[in-house]
Amino acid sequence: MDTPITRAEHEEFRRRLEAEDSRLNTRLKIVENDLKDIKALTASVEKLAVNMENMMKVQEKQNTRLEELESRDGEMWRKVTGYVITSVIGLILGFVFTKIGLV
C-alpha cells in the first residue's frame, strides 16, 4: 500500500484535477448566471402581480361607477314612465268624467 507513485503519474493526476476544477468552475459560472436570470424574472413577476392587483382595484371602482350610472338611467326612465302613465290615466279619467257629466 505504501508504494510510491511516479512523477508522470503524479503529473497526470494533477492535470486531471485541474481539468475537473476548470469544468466545475465553468458550470458554476453558468449556474450563477442562471440564478441572476431567475432573480430578475422573480422581480418582474412580483411587479406584474402588483400591477395586476392595482388594475383589479381600478376595475372594481369602475364597475361600481358603471352600476351607479346604469341605475340612474333606470331610475330616470321609471320616473318618466310613471309620469306618462299618470298623465294617460288622468286624461282617461277626465274623459270618462266628462262623458258621465261629473265635470
DSSP string spanning 14-82? HHHHHHHHHHHHHHHHHHHHHHHHHHHHHHHHHHHHHHHHHHHHHHHHHHHHHHHHHHHHHHHHHHHHH
For 68: left if phi > 0, alpha if psi spans -120 to 50, otherwise beta; the answer is alpha
Cβ contacts of 97 within 8 Å, gap of 6 or more: 103
Model pLDDT, residue 74: 75
Residue-wise pLDDT for 4-52, tens only, equals 889 999 999 999 999 999 999 999 999 999 999 999 999 999 999 999 9
Question: What pTM value is reported for the model?
Answer: 0.52
Q: Tell me which residue of 33, 28, 30 sits closest to 41, measured CA to CA.
A: 33
Cβ atoms 97, 103 nearer than 8 A: yes
Q: Which residue has the higher pLDDT, 103 or 2?
A: 2
Reading the block at residue 7, the C-alpha cell is 512523477
